[in-house]
Chains A and B, each alone.
Chain A
Amino acid sequence: MPKTEIKLKPKLQVIKEDEIPHILAPGELGAVLELIVSDKDGKVTEHRVQKSESFVRQFLTMLFVEFNKVVDVSGLRIVAGNYYVRFVNFHTENLRCDGGVGVTGRGIAVGTGTTAPDIDDNFLKTPIAHGTGGGRLQYSAVTFGAPASDATISQFTITRNFANGSGADITVNEIGLYGGAFAGGATHDCLFIRDVIAGGILVPNGQTLTINYRIQAAV
């Protein structure tokens, strides 16, 4: 089967006030997870909006580092991939999620794992690689929607497209957000959020999955 040409590109935009989804309870800081499957003409074939359940401990660790401006959190576990990152310190690149085209280790990533999220999760259980080969999805660059607010919600949006040009349908069961943790003169990427999608979401061959993480705070 010929490889499918993927046309859909992410847009950088400020969400309109009346389009801000209200799912979080007052006082919650979290993310709204929006999943959109579109065909090659941009027609939406599936659209889900749900509360993201699972900041993992590393997000809180990095928030702690940035609030506290500490120079060594070797006592706090940060794991990038499958190795420990020591001496994480405050830095401008901490929490960066701006993964480029094909970069699976930074920004939003997807996988097929179905294991329930755990606070100690360090990576997606079964990540889907970038590409057009079997079982692969094409990772676009991560884009961002600038912060906005309405009467009760403030938010910004992280977006990434995953185009299926593999020649076969792919079901995405887990979604993660990776971001930067600076240590030893380099930025390492570690998992901040992991969500498991009940029943998975099917990305038919030739179609594109767009994932929006809307980071929100509700008063």
Chain B
Amino acid sequence: MLITKLLLEKLNREGVVLDRREQLSRSFVLQFMDLLYSKAAQINRATRDVDNVLRTVPFTDTGNALYNLGIASPGGDASCYNRYDYGRKVMAEKIGIQVGAGTSAPAPTNYKLANRIAHGRSKPTAAPATFSNLSFETGDLTGWTPATKGGMAAVVRNDAWAIKNGTWFCALWTTGVVVPGDYAQISQDIDLTNITHIRFQLRGEKYASNYNGYFNVLISGRPVYPDETVVINTLALTGVQTVTFVFVAEAGQSASVYFNSGAWVDNIRTLNAVSPLLEYGGCDVSDFLVAPPNAQFTIRRYFYNNSSALITVNEVGIQAVAGAAPGYAFLIARDEVSPGIGVAGGELLRVTYVPQITV
């Protein structure tokens, strides 16, 4: 019988173990059986890769099958299992021990981690700059630079039907006769360096007819727009930029009919929501030991958190290379880590699998 111990150790940069977990791995999944079967029976076998594609894994033809079941790998985004004559080239981070944030229980049919944490360094996660007077709770446009044209106005109001956060909101709306191109806007300069998204709450009208309605999105009857989900992606932007919220009239309107038509904005937040990344070290397979009635070896990988964010690992697994050139990654083992283990910025996580047989 073979069992596999799973050890998770969190360390600081000096190598001091800050947290240590040991559990029985529950672990090997169907793709491992597929790859073992292919070798035992000397037969091609179709099995599912981590991208949910069914791949035929050849058992012979040295160039294609020679590396089937390999899990040792260098670190990060290096390539591994290179064979220039067959074009095999697999990214090292995909092979060997993996970590993720998913929390579902393992099942034999798992073909990937539920929510794999990729290799890399997260964007610096210093606290994002925030908008001044982001919810207009001063009762005016302090911190904002308004600009209007024609019959449009930018005003802070406290009408209960339009408030999204706090007591006040900002209306960009008609206050008189408007012609196409009239507008109302508010602007503010902000440093986007550590900001990944801007999220705000919005209510807006169209003026196709004489009404006071608004657009919304419902999920199971619960309104989710505009109350929650207007998100602007700013991942690619850095430095001080001017952010403007503007409502522009597209047709002439008479004040008597369309008074107070426009948009309302509130609760303008900045986020730093970069997907957590950990730097993958090499995956080491070593330390074969025999001490009758036991024999064991060790599979180990280090994961480095070089961001300032806390990253919680809730699942670990092992991926093996297999398949025709260029080769693909197949999940062969998956384990849940409950409760998750939090790895703070500057800390390391050492994950060790120890397969062991006992006679």
Q: Which residues of A contact B (CB under 8 A)?
A: 24, 26-30, 51-57, 59-61, 63-64, 66-69, 76, 90-98, 117-121, 144, 146-147, 149-156, 158, 179, 215, 217-219
A-B contact count (CB 8 A): 168
Q: Are A30 and B2 in contact (CB under 8 A)?
A: yes
Is A29 within 8 A of B70, CB to CB? Answer: no
Name the residue of chain A whose CB is nearest to the CB of B63. Answer: A92
Query: Cβ of A94: which chain B residues have Cβ within 8 Å of it?
Result: 39
Interface-facing stretch out of B202-210, B220-228, B286-294: B286-294
The answer to whether A217 touches B355, judged by C-beta atoms less than 8 angstroms apart, is: no
A149 touches B109 (CB 8 A): yes
Known: A28-B1, A56-B359. A179 touches B288 (CB 8 A): no
Selected contact of B41 from candidates A90, A98, A119, A149, CB within 8 Å: A98
Q: Is B299 an interface residue (CB 8 A)?
A: yes
Interface stretch, picked from B27-35, B142-150, B165-173, B251-259, is B27-35
Could you tell me if A151 and B107 are in contact, using CB atoms closer than 8 angstroms? yes
B295 contacts A60, C-beta separation under 8 Å = yes
Q: Which residues of B contact A153 (CB under 8 A)?
A: 108
B78 within 8 A of partner (CB): no
**A98–B37 CA distance with the chains assembled, in angstroms:** 11
Q: How far is the CA of A110 from the CA of B72 in the complex (A)?
A: 35
Interface size class of B (residues with CB under 8 A): 35 or more
CA distance A69 to B68 in the complex (A): 9
Residues of chain A within 8 A (CB-CB) of B290 are 57, 119-120
Would A144 and B43 be within 8 Å (CB), given that A28-B1, A69-B72, A156-B37 are in contact? yes
In whole angstroms, how far apart are the Cα atoms of A151 and B29 in the complex?
11
The answer for the CA separation of A59 and B36 in the assembled complex, in Å, is 12
Given contacts A144-B43, A149-B109, A219-B27, contact A118 B68 (CB under 8 A): no
Q: Quote the shortest CB–CB distance from B299 to chain A (angstroms).
A: 7
* Interchain nearest-CB distance for B36 vs A (Å): 7
Contact with A along B22-54 (1 / 0, CB 8 A): 001111111011101101111101000000000
A26 to B295, CA, bound (A): 20
Asked if B7 is at the interface of the complex by the 8 Å CB criterion, the answer is no
Report the separation of the CA atoms of residues A120 and B357 in the bound assembly, to the nearest whole angstrom: 12
Given A60-B297, A92-B60, A158-B40, are A119 and B359 also a contact pair (CB < 8 Å)?
A: yes
B217 within 8 A of A: no
* C-alpha gap A156/B30 in the complex (Å): 9
